[in-house]
Structure 1
Amino acid sequence: MNGLELSPFIKALPKVELHVHIEGTLTPALRWKLAHRNGVKHPYETYGDQLDLWYSFPNSQDGVTYNHRKEVNGDDGCPTFLEAYFAGCQVLVTEDDFYELGMAYLERCKELNVRYCESFFDTQTHLERGISHQDVMNGNLIFCFLRDRPLSEGLASYEAARPWARLADGTGKALSHAVGLAANEFEKPPLLFEEGFQVAGKDDAADHVHEAIFKVCGGEETERIDHGLNALDRPELLTGLEEREIGLNLCPYAYYRRQATEVLFPKIKKLIDEGVNVCINGDDPTYMHDVWMDDKMQEVYTYCGLSKADMVKMVKRGRAIFWVDESLKTGLPEEMDTIDMDN
């Protein structure tokens, strides 16, 4: 992790994770196991060197990295991040596979002292392979529309997934609590999916943030914005985030692949200083240098020059944007008050 050592304070700090794609936690070991269990063919003859290489593009010593956007950069022979991500999804076939993936992530949360998490998932990635809604939905939380697929397809998937949601009339399994967007955002702003948000609720990146704050569903329905570092590009976006009490779920490694340490972390620090409710998250850790929540928090703590009190305050503020009943939010603040600031 860039030579940083995990401090006892960060290790002990109770953490929350509000933006993590469950498929992005699929480790090489579990991928290998599920591929063999399900008879899924892949180009790797051995578990070690060949499979690990697919995960190691961002770590390559020769400078090779994921091609962020082939539609912009051209095809240089390297996979995009999403190609690597979706290739891993192919081994998820049965309900047991999704359960095992989810439980493996929760076991990692226990190790990292992540006290509360909300995982993202989408069904469209899996439906096209003949996987049922039931197999994907059981045990997931935040339903995502894929930006690079037609809205009509997303709406059909959402309708099929509604029995697993917490519905306004009190019915449903209450396993899925919200909707969001995933996949490639290029030329796919949030307003294209407004119909989906309206159903569920009853171009540059800064433009996307502006739409989410002020335009989607009349500017009244957005409770959180994920990523959103480009809010710094326009003063009115910072004002809108703070005045409307919209949380900003930042995933440092979504930017770290393309921005230097000395560029990225002062931006995150400025968001915090401006009063934005920033929550740090893992996103897709196995495909992003295999850096998980504790390491990401350590980087923010170190490179943003934050105090221990700042870190505790940031985690406490994240409680305001949990998508759970108020009765389930009570434990974390008391636990935070017991943190040893001298550690």
Structure 2
Amino acid sequence: MKGFISGLPKVELHLHIEGTLEPEMLFTIAQKNGVTLPFESIAALRDAYQFNDLQSFLDLYYWGAKVLRTEQDFYDLTFAYLERCHDEHVMHTEIFFDPQSHMQNGVAFATVLNGIDRALQEGKAQWGISSGLILCFLRHLSEASAIETLRQALPYKEKIIAVGLDSSEIGHPPEKFVQVFAMAREAGWPTVAHAGEEGPSENIWRALEDLQVSRIDHGVRCSDDSALVETLRQRYVPLTVCPLSNVKLQVFDDLSQHNIMQLVEQGLCITINSDDPAYLGGYMTANMLAVAETFDVSKAEMARFTERAITASFLPEEEKDVLRARLAQYLAHQFHPII
């Protein structure tokens, strides 16, 4: 199984690029930019990666983002993630970025976007990794701040595939952002939202109905509401689930308690993703292997996580077909009789 998952073509739909900032790179960039760090060593920083909940993680996450100041920093960060994608056979990735957190630190929107986009173009040219960039609003900030961020994004519309919502879920329900999401849809962007991670299942309803999202990021609390589960099944709304993140942030005490396979069995469109892998336990291969080992999932079912992620992606249908063909070729080489 380890070898099969290692080589399995993958698609990632829930990845925060700031969450790929490994401690070694964080220290290097901080030193280059003259940013003083409150940790004496890389080991001391890693020791701080013990989180009680989402907020305790976010406090460190936003602190880490403060070292990123130049276009080259964002390029280096993104290119390092794409190198990991190449090593782990990730064919396509849809990446979240949080421009507000950088703009608060005096970094221009264009600096952030251009650095990330340059790396994405390089990843495509060098390794054939397709990608898309999803602008996320920080839900702990005001809707007025989100609207201003959306306005700054409009000149770069062709470089952004969707608009999303992340950060602290408790106390910041989706309906807080109805106006800016309507503006994003009017501009032609599909929308996604983090909902039902720490917050209640009602947040998933509100994301679906008030924000009219195409995908739910996390969404694991949907199990609290059987009518919601049935709605997600009937509409085939993708949930971008992040198993190791959910355990690290104590959404579940242990991976064996996770509802990911229960949701699959109920007919939902469930995908596996890494979320903030530098902080929360691992990249795509680690997440998939953990699920396979914990729940004794077959190779065929693991491959279906990739199939569902291709379907759930924002790629044009002809590009989805190319990825499906790559997956089918891998599976035919692995075992013709099973799939």
Fold equivalence (TM over 0.5): yes
State the match for 1:24 in structure 2. Answer: 19
Matched, 1:67 2:60: no
Counterpart of 2:185 in structure 1: which amino acid? Answer: G
Q: Which residue of 2 aligns with 1:178?
A: 162
* Runs (5+) with no aligned partner, structure 1: 1-5, 59-64, 71-79, 166-173
CA drift at 1:53: 2.5
- Quick check: 2:169–2:199 contact (8 Å CA) kept in 1? no
Looking at secondary structure, tell me which structure has more helix per residue: 2
TM alignment of 1:305-316, pairs within 5 A: 305-316=296-307
Q: Any residues of structure 2 matched to 1:7-22 within 5 Å, and which? A: 7-22=2-17
Equivalent pairs, count = 305
1:256-293 alpha-carbon deviations (Å, 9 max, x no partner): 1222336433x11110001111110010001113x111
Correspondences of 1:28-67 after superposition (within 5 Å)? 28-45=23-40, 50-58=41-49, 65-67=50-52
Asked if structure 2 preserves the Cα contact closer than 8 Å seen for 1:224 and 1:246, the reply is yes
CA 1:69–1:273: 2 relative to 1, 3 Å? closer
How far did 1:204 drift? 4.1
Q: 1:97 aligns with which of 73, 91, 109?
A: 73
* Contact 2:256-2:294 within 8 A present in 1 as well: no
Tell me the secondary structure at the aligned position of residue 278 of structure 1: strand
- The match for 2:184 is 200
Are the aligned partners of 1:137 and 1:161 in contact in 2 as well (CA < 8 Å)? no
- Which residue of the partner structure matches residue 270 of structure 2? 278
Q: What amino acid is aligned across from residue 96 of structure 2 in structure 1?
A: F
Gaps of 5+ in 2: 118-132, 187-197
TM-score, normalization by structure 1: 0.84
How many angstroms does 1:27 deviate by?
0.8
Kept in 1, the 8 Å contact 2:207–2:213? The answer is yes
| Percent of aligned positions that are identical | 33
| Corresponding residue SS for 1:52 | helix
Provide the secondary structure at the position in 2 that maps to 1:330: helix
Partner of 2:101: 125
* TM-fit CA distance, 1:12: 0.8
Give the 5 Å matches for 1:155-304.
155-165=147-157, 174-202=158-186, 204-213=199-208, 215-217=209-211, 221-257=212-248, 258=250, 259-261=252-254, 263-265=256-258, 267-289=259-281, 291-304=282-295
| Cα distance in 2, alignment partners of residues 7 and 216 from structure 1 | 41
Which secondary structure state, in structure 1, belongs to the residue aligned with residue 210 of structure 2?
A: helix
How many Å separate the matches in 1 of 2:305 and 2:88?
A: 17
**Contact conserved, 1:34 with 1:97, CA < 8 A, in 2?**
yes
Cα deviation digits, residues 9-49 of structure 1 (max 9, x gap): 0001111110000000001111111111111111234xxxx
Q: 1:194, CA displacement in angstroms?
A: 1.2
- Over aligned residue pairs, what C-alpha RMSD do you find? 1.8
Task: Please list the CA deviations of residues 112-135 of structure 1 after superposition, one character each: whole Å capped at 9, or x if unmatched.
Answer: 111110110011101111100110
Match of 1:87 in 2: 63
1:115 equivalent in structure 2:
91
Residue deviations 1:195-246 (CA, integer Å, cap 9, x gap) = 1110000194211012122x214xxx32100000011111111111121121
User: Against the structure 1 CA distance between its residues 256 and 128, is the aligned structure 2 distance closer, same or farther, given a 3 Å change threshold?
Assistant: same
Among 142, 154, 159, the alignment partner of 2:146 is: 154
